[in-house]
Amino acid sequence: MIACTLSNLELRGIIESAFLPLRCNCTVMEDVMTMEVIDPATERVELVASNIALDTLDNSHALCVLIRELQAELEKTRH
């Protein structure tokens, strides 16, 4: 669970919706998350990020920073 107030399910929902219309799958095992972003039209995996420590996501700013970094990385790989 995120150190602040979000459950793993809520955290996954926020991150997964940040990558729409692409499909994003987040998997949480213990205190680490892995995510992959998939183009639904081609089923191609566009981005994989693993070993994301949930204890680093201790506030909304940290969550926003993570999402922006992953979105920027996705942009670089798609162009």
pLDDT in tens, 47-67: 999 999 998 888 889 999 999
Q: What are 38-50's pLDDT values in tens digits?
A: 999 999 999 999 9
The pLDDT score that the predictor gives to residue 20 is: 96
Q: Has residue 1 been placed in a domain?
A: no
In a domain, 3, yes or no: no
In Å, how far are 13, 23, 44, 66 from 62, measured between CA atoms?
A: 16, 22, 28, 6
45 in any annotated domain:
yes
Distances (CA, A) of 38 to 30, 43, 51, 61: 24, 6, 18, 25
Structurally, how many domains does the chain consist of? Answer: 1
Residue 57 CB neighbour total at 10 angstroms: 22
Residue 54 lies in a domain: yes
Q: Is residue 27 part of a domain?
A: yes
- Structural domain harbouring 28: 8-78
- The answer to whether residues 33 and 52 touch, using CB atoms and an 8 Å cutoff, is yes
Global pTM?
Answer: 0.85
